[in-house]
Amino acid sequence: MMNVTQAFRGSILYFTGDPLHDHQPVIWHEDGLLLLNGELIVASGAYADLRDKLPEDLCVTDYSGKIIIPGFVDTHVHYPQTDIIASPAEGLLPWLETYTFPAESQFGDHDYAQEVASFFLDELLKNGTTTAMVYSTVHKTSADAFFGISHQRNLRMVTGKVLMDRNCPEYLQDTAESGARDSEDLIRKWHGRGRQLYALTPRFAPCSTNEQLGLTGELARQYPDTFIQTHVAENQDECAWARSLFPSARSYLDIYDQFGLMRERAMYAHCIWLDETDTRRMAETGSAISVCPTSNLFLGSGLFSFRGAEQHQVQLSMATDVGGGTSFSMLQTMNEMHKVARMGGYHLNALRMFYYATLGGAKAMRLDHQIGTLQAGTEADFIVLNPKATPLLSRRTENADSLEEVLFALAMLGDDRTIEATYAAGIRQK
């Protein structure tokens, strides 16, 4: 007899494959049941098939009329930029100088960093995001503070100390050696401790010397199950700057490739201005793309090309990129992702957007055996969507003719009000 500690009844939706490439990639039970044992899912399926697995004395939490899906996975976001979200600037580089760098200077203070990390995690959970790949700042203590809070709450989170040893204010610079040493200390302390995971985090090539990128590549080889996160080809001025600093590289992306920073678990944010060779290289190396539509529109960086990524079958994921991004909501991010695709003459259906926000993100991070799904044996990180959360949503979803239409309305009209509940490792967080 299976041990069951919690049970949830409602519609159940999750993916087993990519809607673009795989046959029948969706699991849908209109009247479903999700069973947990402690922090893990032990079964999910049709209520009629699983009701006899319910212990007699167990109270079932009833989410009938609502949709239970895996928690959202945001693959690129900056916690130290929480307080400068929605700051006006004329594009990426002026925005970094005017708002971002000064804001990040405060994160050498552990207490301050903890307070912001705590607010940031509340905001993620309120919006249904249960896993994120997060940038800290250059300060070792900023990553340490974030891990401490996330560990206390038993959340599956990834972060890393930012590496930047040139072309930024002196108060935010490390050195190639100190950056590598601090990163290694943090890996030893946090990577794999509870649910915490480490990401080597060179901010972007223009802020690192050859020495720093070289040492980061060595760490990436030495610790192959750590993550790598950086920015690439976001904005044309940035691309020109990167090319001028590394004249021997074939392209901006090639800078990272030359230093051994393209591999599985490497997450490249933006990728708007890649060429075909770059895109092929992303696929060959198993590197993944974070598509950040609210940020790209806000900063006027450009429109991501879904067609190029589709041709080469690059692993795609979805991200808010707060504070360049303008919302913590992955539903709002879907809304803008759809519009970015439309502007390129490309139709992104709701099923694919929900895939990118859940299993797609988990696969891009090689964590799909643990999160992004409701399959038995995985971690109980899930959310409950309310298709009647607002009067307008209610009117639109009541007359929907298909699951696609319901999900599309949630993606276009949804926000934090749509998230009825958020659970992480089986514990209710919202």
> Which residues are within 8 A (CB) of 26 and not within 5 positions of it... i.e. 6 or more apart?
13, 14, 15, 16, 19, 351
Burial of 277 (0-12, 13-18, 19+ CB in 10 A): exposed
Interface segment toward ligand GUN; rule CB under 6 A; list 92-100, 144-152, 242-250, 384-392: 92-100
Q: How far is the CB of 328 from Zn ion (least distance, A)?
A: 14
- Find the Cα–Cα–Cα–Cα dihedral 186, 188, 190, 195, rounded to 10°: 150
Per CB under 5 A, does 321 bind Zn ion? yes
Contact residue for ligand GUN among 321, 336, 379, 415 (CB under 6 A): 321
What does the DSSP 8-state code read for residue 267?
E
Q: Which does 204 bind (CB under 5 to 8 A by kind): Zn ion, ligand GUN, none?
A: ligand GUN
Considering only residues 336 to 395 of the shown chain, the ones binding ligand GUN according to CB under 6 A are: none
* Distance in angstroms (rounded) separating the CA atoms of residues 156 and 425: 9
Residue 420 contact partner, candidates Zn ion, ligand GUN, none, CB within 5 to 8 A by sort of partner:
none
Interface positions, 232-261, toward ligand GUN (CB under 6 A): 234
Pairing of strands 382-385, 60-70: antiparallel
Q: Which is nearer to ligand GUN, 317 or 386 (CB)?
A: 317
* Strands ordered across the beta sheet of 26-37: 40-46, 26-37, 6-15, 60-70, 382-385, 419-424, 427-428
The interface region with Zn ion, picked from 63-71, 185-193, 318-326, 408-416 by CB under 5 A, is: 318-326
Phi, psi (5° rounding) for residue 272? -80, -35
Tokens for 126, please give them. Answer: 């309120």
State the binding partner of 92 from Zn ion, ligand GUN, none, CB within 5 to 8 A by kind. Answer: ligand GUN
Provide the minimum distance between the beta carbon of 299 and ligand GUN in the complex, in angstroms, as a whole number. 6
Say whether residue 92 binds ligand GUN (CB under 6 A): yes
Minimum Å gap between C-beta 295 and Zn ion is 7
Q: How near is the Cβ of 160 to ligand GUN at its closest, in Å?
A: 14
Residues between 185 and 224 with contacts to ligand GUN, criterion CB under 6 A = 203-204
The site that binds ligand GUN (CB under 6 A) totals a number of residues, namely 11
Cα separation, 29 vs 35, in Å, equals 14
Rounded to the nearest 10 degrees, the angle between the axes of helix 210-222 and helix 176-190 is: 20
Task: Give the separation between CA 43 and CA 26, rounded to whole angstroms.
Answer: 16
> Between residues 140 and 231, which has the closer beta carbon with respect to ligand GUN?
231
Q: How far is the CB of 92 from Zn ion (least distance, A)?
A: 9
Chain residues binding ligand GUN by CB under 6 A are 78, 92, 96, 100, 203-204, 231, 234, 295, 321, 324
